[in-house]
Structure formats: C-alpha cells, structure tokens
Structure 1
Amino acid sequence: MASIKTRKATDGTSRYTAEVRLKGYPAQTATFKRLTDARKWIQDIESAIREGRHFKTIESKKHTFADLADRYVKDVLPGKPKQQSRQKMQIEWWKERLGAYLLADVTPALIVQFRDELASGTTCRHTKRSPATVVRYMAALSHAYTICVKEWGWLDDSPMRKVKKPRESRGRVRFLDDDERQILLIACKESRNKYLYMCVILALSSGMRQAELMCLKWPDVNLKDGYLILHETKNEERRRVPLSGLGLELLREHAKIRRLDTPLLFPSHTNPHKPLDLRSAFEYALDRAEITDFHWHDLRHSAASYLAMNGASLAEIAEVLGHKTLSMVKRYAHLSDGHVSNVVASMNQKIFGGNV
C-alpha cells in the first residue's frame, strides 16, 4: 500500500511525502518537490522490494568495505584455521585500499585498479606479486564478497563476478632424474639427521606435502595393511595414502624404536610435541649432492612425475596427491605421452587389427 501526503513549506511551495507499506517489510518514506517524482519513487520502491533489491541497496549504502573486512575476519576466518593468518593478511591488504568506500561504491573498475597495483608493485609499500599470488588475494576477496551477498544480505551481487583473474603460469615441474635421485638419497643416508633419509623416501614414494609428512601421528598409520590417513591437508579433506616398498619397510623399522613421549612419528629433538624441522639437513644434503634449483616441495613434483612416467592417468595422480581437480596435475601430462600413445595404439589395434 502506498500513499502521498502534501504539505506546504515555509516558502509557500508544496512538498510531497511518499510512503510505501508492504506486509512483512518496514515502511519506506521519502519527500519530493514534485508529485510526479513521488509517484515514480513509489513505483520503483515497490518493484525493488518485491524483487528483493531494495533493502540490499540500503545495506550497501550503510556499510563500508571496512565493515565487511572486519566482520569477515572476526566471524568467518576462525572457521578456516589453516588459512586464517594468510587470508587475514590478504583481506587487510584490500581493507587498506577499499576500507573507506561504501560497499555501494566499490565497483569492478576500482577493484581492477588495485588488482593491477598488486600485480605491478607500483607503490613503494610492496614488491611485485606473481600472477599466482594475485589470484590468491582475489580469491580471498571474492569469498568475503560471497559471504556478504549470500549470508549477510549487504549486497545484491558481488563486484568480483566482473573482475578477471590474471593468468597463472603453467606451474613448476622440477623433478629428480635417476642420477640425481640416487646421489641425493646417498647424501641423505649419510646425514647426521637420522630421520632425513626416511622422510625423503616417504615424500618421493607417496607425494605427501612436507607439513602432511612431518605432522604424522602413529594412530593414523596402519603398518599391517600399508596405509596412513592424513587428517590435516591443504584442501581440508581427509586423505588415505597407500604405503609400500622401501618407505613401508623403513616405517616398520622406525616403529620398533618409536618415542613413547609423543604421538608424532618425527618429533623435534627439543620439543617432542612439535614436528621436526629438516630444512637445514635437507639443504646440506642437496649441497653435498651438488643438486641445484631444488626444494623440498619438488619431492612431491618428483613423485607425481614418476607416477606419470609409469603410466598413471591424471585422475590417478590427482587422487594420490589429494587434488580436487585435474587442473593442478595437467603440468605432468607430457610425461605420460608414451602411455597415452600406447593406449591409442592398443585401441586402434583392437578396432582395425593390422589393416590400414
């Protein structure tokens, strides 16, 4: 229901106060100098309320981006403990630049401006970020806007839907060839750190991330059936990791002399409740083996590469590594070309036989 009340102003001109009342919604009022403007406002408001647009528009003009950022950090990020500190830093970066703007005034063009600043490092306050890093900053912002739209009702739509993400690089593929692997394992075996050799073997044979491996606990290891369960993974899903061969043998021997004051497989020497830090020992082994341009995470790349070269499909590699999609493992596709060629040749042989 809508109504218009007319009153005389002190200067003798008329003022028209329009009011819109719809059941289930708070009354909306506005005053105009012209009757036609009041009538048009009523039509627009009634239409916007029925379509669910009106109150979101009001909310977007009541809240600043700083309000969004603060609420997201306070209410949402605690539910993402593994990503909390990193995403808080990313959201704070956006808040420094967008915080004073009303949500209604944060346009895709404005976000693009700061996206480009992030990528180019044009300010003296930070260095140039890689495309992959820019994508992570944008992903944090995008999720904050999604929550703002779907759960808080502060916006009708996210401006991130119209902002293009930079193209990420194809990804690093650095793996140990046969000679490098043999030399590195010798260096690790000769290391004064008694855990290094076993951990490198496990990383190469399973593809586990360093944090996944070093935080392993004995209740999650099944040495009889040859597998372990990862509860804390990057994508926050449990993963079953099969164990076999030398890695399984080493773990079985390790279990015979396990420490009883900690559930960790590889505890720190100084604090049994913290995982061991192998960084220095690993870097020293690399130096002794004269292997350059190689990081611990490249052991994971090596495991994936070996799987590809031994005929594993991309879907199988993704399952072993714990990736939700195939996009992350496509970097290894060229290593399985021989296997793909054999599959195609086998199919053609079965269909066409020896005929041309």
Structure 2
Amino acid sequence: MAYIRPLSNGNFRADVRLKGIVKNKTFPSEKLAQAWADNIECGIKAILNLDQAQLMALSDDEIYALGGEELFKQLGIDLFAIRHAAKLEAINALSKKKLLQLSVQEIERMGGAELFVKAGKRIRYKTFREVCNEYLARWNKKDYQGQMQRVDYWCNAFGDRIMTDIDIFDLREHVDDMIDAGERTTTINRKKAVLSSVYKFALSRGYVDENLVRSVVVDDDTKRRDRVLSDQERQRLIKACKESHWNKLYLLVIMAMTTGARKGELMNLRWSDVSFKDNTGFLGDTKNGTSRELYLAPVVMTELKRHQEVGAGLIFPSAELPEQPMDFRKAWRNTLKAANISDRDILNPDGSVKLEKFTFHCLRHGFCSALSDSGKEINQIAKLAGHKSIQTTMRYIHQGRDQKRQIVNELALAFNL
C-alpha cells in the first residue's frame, strides 16, 4: 500500500509498504510521488506473478524496469541462482577431490569463480607462487625490483603450496624460525609486512577468506620457545603417536626427536633420499640453503622399513595429492590432547605464562637441548642441527639449575678451593 504525505518544505513523500518491502522517496509534486509509488507497487506485484521460466528469460532492461535486482533480492528471489541453476547443480555435484583438481579453464567453462563462490565452493587451484606473480603484475608503485626480491623470499618458503592450505601455524612456525635464526624484530616485521600485502591482494581477489598475517604478532617482547618435554611427557607423546589414526605420525615424531630436522625438511623427504645401507637421509634443500645428511637411529630405520615404498615418492604424502606433503595438523592436535600436553600457553592468574605451549618445532629444541645435556660440544650440535652459526645453536640449548651448579662446583674443584 502507498501513502503520499505533504512535507513542511512543500515537497511530497511517497511511502510504499507491500509484501514486507518498505520503500520511500521525496518528490517536488504529489503527482510525481504517486506515479513513483504506483510503479513500485506494480513492479512488486508483477515480480511475484512471474514463474521460474519467465524469471530466467528476463533481460537486464526488464529487471531494471521492474525495480532492479535489489528489489528481487528483497522479495527473496535470487536471479543469479535461477539463471545459473544447471551450472550450480553441476558444481554442487563435484567432490572435494575433483574441486582440488580443476584447472582455470574448467572453472571458467563451468561459469567462473563467482559461480563457485555462490555455490559455497572454494576453488583451491591457486598456488602461493601464482598469487605472488599476479600480485607483482599489478604492482604500480615504485621499487618494483625491490618488491619482487622481497616477495621472492616468501615464494621460497611457500611457493608451490596451495594458498588456502597455508594456515596460521605455518606462518607462526616460519616466524619462529626467523627468531631462532637471530633475525632482528624490525627485519622480521618488514618481511611480514610484504607477506601481509600479498595476503591483502589475495583477499581482494577471493583467493583466501582472511589475512592470516595480521594474527602473527612479532614485537620486542617476542621470545624463543623454551618448551622441552619431560621424560614422562615424552613417553606419553610416543604412546599417543603410536595410537594415532595417521599411521606415520610415530615415524615422523621419532625422526624429529632423533635428527632435529625441521618439519618442512622431513615432510619433503623422499624415499630416494634414504639410504637403507648407510642408515642416512639426505636433505638437498634446507632452510639455510645448504644440503646436509641426517643420521637415522635404529628405531627410525625399523619404522622406515615397515613403511618402505619403491620409487621417489614422498615419505609423508597427502592421501589425496601424493605430490604434496600430508596435512597432519588434526592428527598432531589429537595426539597432544591424548598425551595431556597443551598446545596452548598455560597462564598464571596474573596473565603471565606459566607453561608455554608445545609445538612440533619444540621437538627440534628438545633435540639440541638433549645433546647439550649429554655433554656434546656446541660445534657438534650445530652440525647435526644444520645451523650455520653457533649463535643460532646457543638459542636452542637450555641448561637447568642442577647442570649450572655442577659446572660451578667443578670449577671450584679445579681451583683446589
């Protein structure tokens, strides 16, 4: 129903209320106000009388004449979905595995990225490197060469991974690695700003749902994680790994515990990198740009032989995409929970950290710390851990009060005191 009422300034206001729709507009004359109200009412009634076939056949001009697409939406009619019903049905029928395998051409042929988003389907074909290349192609500011080099740093870290598969834990772990390597906070924040810029671009293009980088905070109070498992915690973790639904988690964890290798290094290890004759593993491309050899303990070799495969495939492959590493985050979280080891910081009543959370990277800290506690030389630990600098190794070594007291007592004895 339409209402026309005069205003104190001489104009006329038209109010239309029909089928839950409320619209109003001001005109200089009552005649114009009435004509507009009649047109809106006729449009609403006409839209509600259209059947599915007629809605599909509407041209853009006809939609505009009836009140515009917004009016259709207010009446609960999704023209986009109606026009693309057949394509949406085909998209909804796709399995998750097939969605992962779609090429750009196939997506365009099925209606384009917008249609997949409308269907609530995530298109995950964009790798981090592809997004970075697209980002740089649209870079219109100064210092293109400098920005390209800064972006290339992150491409070396995440290059061929599907961008939506990179999560907050991956970013946090990489930042922790930079901290452990002794990089200054200002340097880390500059690198993080470049990554945030890439994510902001990806967000604007619909490749990701949020800018994860904003959640990774680095400031002057950032400290390395000193969390090392106690003997009891270690035994509980090993037991829980053996009982995990992922049958290779135990192998992965004992390899990390006994080699000190980084998660990324282990996840990219292939069967062709393992020498069953020499009980070694070869890392051809490590974080610091050098290759190194892993010396594999008997317990690791036994477990490797149990899973041994012929060929050069990944030792820890994804079940759906064999050329990509396994995403074991859920298995890891469940295992920590089963072992009663917190993956979150445990706080004191005043908000300070009582016990730091345990991450997969902490296994590397435990490796270096255990070697130090057993009396190994710092240069030996550095070589086994793959550190270029002794200063980096020092960050991983945690001496307890008893060990420090013993050192002081031995010094006193040496001085015959």
For this structure pair, what is the TM-score category when the shorter chain's length is used for normalisation?
A: 0.5 to 0.7
Q: Distance in 2 between matches of 1:133 and 1:281?
A: 32
Counterpart selection for 2:145 from 44, 67, 71: 71
Identity of aligned residues (%): 32
Aligned to 1:144: none
The 2-side partners of 1:191 and 1:206 are apart by: 21
Flag the 1:247–1:201 CA change in 2: closer, same or farther, 3 A: same
CA separation in 1, counterparts of 2:243 and 2:397?
35
- Following the alignment from structure 1 to structure 2, what is the Cα–Cα distance between the partners of residues 176 and 270? 33
Find the residue that maps to 1:240 and give its secondary structure.
strand
Q: 1:288 to 1:228 in 2, by over 3 A?
A: same
Name the residue aligned to 2:187: 135
Report the CA distance shift for 1:313/1:78 in structure 2 as closer, same or farther (over 3 A): same
Residue 288 (structure 2) pairs with residue 288 (structure 1): no
- The residue that corresponds to 2:371 in the other structure is 307
Contact in 1 for aligned 2:369/2:398 (Cα 8 Å): no
Kept after mapping to 1: 8 A contact 2:285/2:291: yes
Matched, 1:271 2:321: yes
Q: C-alpha separation between the residues in 2 aligned to 1:316 and 1:170?
A: 25
Q: Is the 8 A contact 1:184 1:286 kept in 2?
A: yes
- Structure 2 unmatched ranges of 5 or more: 1-139, 160-182, 194-218, 343-356
- Residues 344, 247 of structure 1: CA spacing in aligned structure 2 closer, same or farther, 3 A cutoff? farther
| 2:271–2:310 CA contact under 8 A, matched in 1 | no
1:67 maps to amino acid: K
* Long gaps (5+) in structure 1: 1-64, 86-130, 142-165
CA contact (8 A) 1:207 1:299 kept: yes
Residues 117-170 of structure 1: per-residue CA shift (max 9 Å, x gap): xxxxxxxxxxxxxx96533134799xxxxxxxxxxxxxxxxxxxxxxxx85744
For normalisation by structure 1, the TM-score amounts to 0.53
State whether residues 308 and 332 of structure 1, in contact with CA within 8 Å, keep that contact through their aligned partners in structure 2. no
Amino acid at match of 1:309: D
Which residue identity lines up with residue 271 of structure 1 in the other structure?
Answer: L
- The residue that corresponds to 1:225 in the other structure is 278
2:380 to 275, 298, 316: 316
1:298 aligns with 2:298: no
Which residues in structure 2 correspond to 1:6-21 (within 5 Å)?
A: none
Partner of 1:208: 261
Alpha-carbon distance in structure 2 between the residues aligned to 1:140 and 1:295 = 21
Higher mean alpha-carbon deviation, 333-342 vs 179-188, is at 333-342
Which of the pair has the greater relative contact order for Cα pairs under 8 Å at 6+ separation? 1
Q: Do the aligned partners of 1:229 and 1:238 also contact (CA within 8 Å) in 2?
A: yes
Distance apart, 1:327 and its partner CA: 2.2
| 1:310 to partner: Cα distance | 1.3
1:133-172 to 2 correspondence within 5 Å?
Answer: 134-138=186-190, 169-172=222-225
Q: 1:186 to 1:340 in 2, by over 3 A?
A: same
Change (3 A) 1:337 1:315: farther
Which deviates the most, 174-183 or 245-254? Answer: 245-254
Taking structure 1 as reference, are residues 207 and 168 closer, same or farther at Cα in structure 2, changes over 3 Å only? Answer: farther
Given that 1:132 and 1:169 are in contact with CA atoms closer than 8 Å, whether structure 2 keeps it comes out as no
Give 1:236's match in structure 2, choosing from 272, 277, 289.
289
Alignment partners' CA distance in 2, 1:284 and 1:176: 17
Give the corresponding residue for 2:395. 331
Which stretch shifts more, 336-345 or 70-79?
336-345
The 8 Å contact of residues 308 and 317 in structure 1, kept in 2 or not, is answered as: yes
- List, as ranges, runs of 4+ consecutive aligned residues in structure 1 with deviation greater than 6 Å: 336-349
| Residue of structure 1 in register with 2:244 after alignment | 191
1:335 counterpart SS class: coil
Q: Aligned partners of 1:298 and 1:178: how far apart in 2?
A: 14
Q: Distance in 1 between matches of 2:398 and 2:412?
A: 21
User: Residue 296 of structure 1: CA displacement?
Assistant: 1.1
User: Is the partner of 2:399 in helix, strand or coil?
Assistant: helix
Secondary structure of the corresponding residue to residue 67 of structure 1: coil
Paired residues in the alignment total 218
Task: Provide the alpha-carbon RMSD of the alignment.
Answer: 3.4
Partner AA of 2:392 in structure 1 = M
SS at match of 1:229: strand
Partners in 2 of 1:170 and 1:77 — Cα distance?
Answer: 26
Counterpart contact for 2:228–2:365, Cα < 8 Å: yes
